[in-house]
Structure 1
Amino acid sequence: MDRIIQIKKEKKTIEGTVIYEEGDLIEALFETAPEVVVGDQLPCLLTSDYETFVTFQGVVLARENNRLFFFYSPTVAEFREQRRRYPRFDMDLRGWLQYPAQEPTLFSINSLMVDLVNLSLGGMAFRCDRQVPSEAPLYFSAELYGRNRPDGVISGEIVIIHEQHKSPYFLYGCKFRGLTSRYLHNLRKYLLQRQLDERRQHCRDN
């Protein structure tokens, strides 16, 4: 059975079908265009069998004819459990990796520019032209929108999960060990916007 969503606008209940659900984003299709506007916060109900229900307050992020896009923020517990369900996006930008120098040098910290290959809420992959000490504390930072956008800065400790060497590059898959609330917010906002842009483009292409 399809996953059903019901929204309430004033005293009216409108039912639709969920066609995409990942991370913080829900896309639903309705028979006719609901009379709602972007920014509306609406009581929502989700069910797959009309026996088990999930209720939440959904914020309308965008609309395309009879499709609505909702922001559905999970609880803290759900967020921790479902982090791996957030989408991973291909990236094409540079970031900085910092780690302690292994040998006594003038500088105690090595700084290495790397290519960010993909990014998700739980982790990332980067490519560089030298091997990185996997046992050392590693700190990654990047500006997701380019320079001078504080809302696009992410920075935090990462842990290498796997390494692959394809000469002349090394490819590393990593997970975030910890991001401050500021950087976590920046990352979630960026990923949500990427999701929304791709789904809206999908609507136009179909």
Structure 2
Amino acid sequence: MESIIQIRKGNRVIEGLVTYEEGDLIEAVFPSPLDVTVGDQIPCLLTADYETINTFEAVVVAKDKNRVFLFHSPTATEFREQRRRYPRFDMEVKGWIQYPTQEPDSFFSVYSQMVYLVNLSLGGLAFRSDKQIPADQQIVFSFELYGRNRPDGVVKTDLVIIHERIEGPNYFYGCTIKGINARHFHNLRKYILHRQIEERRQVKIE
């Protein structure tokens, strides 16, 4: 059964169907266009079976005729109950990794290397390297989502490698994000939200 969402607008309660629900984004379709504006914060009720009911405040981040995109960051409990998952997007963006050097005779205490970010989510990422990285190494990874001179695209994270794959001359590393400051997390979340909305706009709803 599809999830049903009810939103309250003034004294009216309007019911629609949830067509997409991943990460912080909910997409819902209503019988007719809604009188809402991007930026509005509206009370919502969400249920899949009329037994488990979640109520929350969501912010309208985009709208298209009778489709509305809502931003709602679920708690850990809600995330599990609603069986949401982090959306993951393929990338090809240059970045820099840094980690303590293991060479005793090295002049530098930190090793730096350019790598390529190949996919990204709120919880983790993967990158491609032409050199192998020492096992059990915690890494600092910096990249710019929109290219140079865009402060809103700068992200710096602390990573832990969880798996390695060798493909031809390249090494691919899947990582979990273990640390990120509030500003960089905001940049990352905003980028992923925009990618989600862009992809969903291309999906036709019958």
Structure 1 residues 11-20 or 69-78, which shifts more?
A: 69-78
Structure 1 residues 13-22 or 47-56, which shifts more?
A: 47-56
Describe the shift of the 1:165–1:142 C-alpha distance in structure 2 as closer, same or farther (beyond 3 A): same
Name 1:105's counterpart in structure 2.
106
How do residues 156-175 of structure 1 correspond to structure 2 at under 5 angstroms?
156-175=157-176
Is the contact made by 1:99 and 1:109 (CA closer than 8 Å) also made in structure 2?
yes
Q: TM-score, normalised by structure 2?
A: 0.92
Name 1:197's counterpart in structure 2.
198
Q: RMSD of the TM alignment (CA)?
A: 2.1
Describe the shift of the 1:32–1:4 C-alpha distance in structure 2 as closer, same or farther (beyond 3 A): same
Q: Where does the alignment leave 5 or more consecutive residues of structure 2 unmatched?
A: none
Name 1:71's counterpart in structure 2.
71
Describe the shift of the 1:58–1:9 C-alpha distance in structure 2 as closer, same or farther (beyond 3 A): same
Shift in Å, 1:167: 2.1
Structure 1 residues 68-77 or 122-131, which shifts more?
A: 68-77
Q: 1:64 is aligned with what amino acid?
A: D
Alignment length (residue pairs): 205
Name 1:34's counterpart in structure 2.
34
Deviations 1:79-114 (A, max 9, x none): 699998110100111010111122122222111100
Measure, in 1, the Cα distance between the counterparts of 2:177 and 2:57.
29
Describe the shift of the 1:54–1:186 C-alpha distance in structure 2 as closer, same or farther (beyond 3 A): same
Structure richer in helix, relative to its length: 1
Describe the shift of the 1:83–1:126 C-alpha distance in structure 2 as closer, same or farther (beyond 3 A): farther
Identity of aligned residues (%): 60
Alignment pair present for 1:56 and 2:61 = no
Structure 1 residues 68-77 or 137-146, which shifts more?
A: 68-77
TM superposition outliers: structure 1 runs of 4+ over 4 Å:
76-84
SS in 2 for 1:107: coil
Q: TM-score, normalised by structure 1?
A: 0.92
Name 2:149's counterpart in structure 1.
148
Is the contact made by 1:83 and 1:121 (CA closer than 8 Å) also made in structure 2?
no
Structure 1 residues 140-149 or 80-89, which shifts more?
A: 80-89
Is the contact made by 2:138 and 2:161 (CA closer than 8 Å) also made in structure 1?
no
Shift in Å, 1:188: 1.1
Alignment pair present for 1:117 and 2:124 = no
Name 1:11's counterpart in structure 2.
11
Deviations 1:129-171 (A, max 9, x none): 1101122331111011111122211112111111111221111
Q: 2:184 is aligned with what amino acid?
A: Y
Measure, in 2, the Cα distance between the counterparts of 1:14 and 1:113.
51
Structure 1 residues 20-29 or 143-152, which shifts more?
A: 143-152
Is the contact made by 2:22 and 2:84 (CA closer than 8 Å) also made in structure 1?
no
SS in 2 for 1:60: strand
SS in 2 for 1:38: coil
Shift in Å, 1:52: 2.3
Shift in Å, 1:59: 1.0
Q: Where does the alignment leave 5 or more consecutive residues of structure 1 unmatched?
A: none
Shift in Å, 1:63: 1.0
Is the contact made by 1:127 and 1:171 (CA closer than 8 Å) also made in structure 2?
yes
SS in 1 for 2:203: helix
Is the contact made by 1:38 and 1:62 (CA closer than 8 Å) also made in structure 2?
yes
